[in-house]
């Protein structure tokens, strides 16, 4: 009888150890998946914007007269007529 009890105890210990190992592996897999998700989100955030598509949408949706003041400015007119110069514009995006 003592051997049966000892065997049951060893089987329980082994089953608990297996369950603990399985839970640990599950947690590690979850951590890896979360890290991969965060990395994908960061890469997506850092990826360049689709400016071609955005520009087309903005061009189609602009109202008549939008930015006319900018295009008529002397600095812009002189830059447009002289293709070899660089125009440096500072400001916040958007």
pLDDT(4) > 80: yes
Residue 41 lies in a domain: yes
Distance CA 68, CA 92 (A): 20
Note the pLDDT of residue 34: 94
**pTM higher than 0.75 for the full model?**
no
- At 94, the pLDDT band (50, 70, 90 cuts) reads low
Helix (H) or strand (E) holding 49: none
Domain range enclosing 43: 1-48
Question: Count of domains in the chain?
Answer: 1
Residue 12 lies in a domain: yes
Alpha-helical regions (H) of 47-73 = 51-61, 68-72
Residue 25 lies in a domain: yes
Residue 14 in contact with residue 20, Cβ under 8 Å? no
**5 Cβ contact list (under 8 Å, min separation 6):** none
pLDDT in tens, 29-77: 999 999 999 999 999 889 887 777 777 888 888 888 888 898 888 888 8
């Amino acid at each position: 009888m003592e051997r049966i009890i000892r065997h049951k105890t060893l089987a329980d210990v082994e089953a608990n150890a297996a369950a603990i190992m399985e839970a640990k592996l599950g947690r590690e897999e979850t951590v890896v998946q979360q890290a991969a998700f965060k990395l994908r989100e960061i890469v997506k955030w850092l990826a360049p914007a689709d400016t071609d598509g955005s520009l087309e949408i903005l061009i189609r949706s602009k109202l008549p007269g939008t930015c006319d003041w900018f295009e008529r400015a002397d600095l812009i007119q002189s830059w447009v007529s002289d293709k070899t110069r660089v125009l440096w514009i500072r400001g916040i995006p958007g």
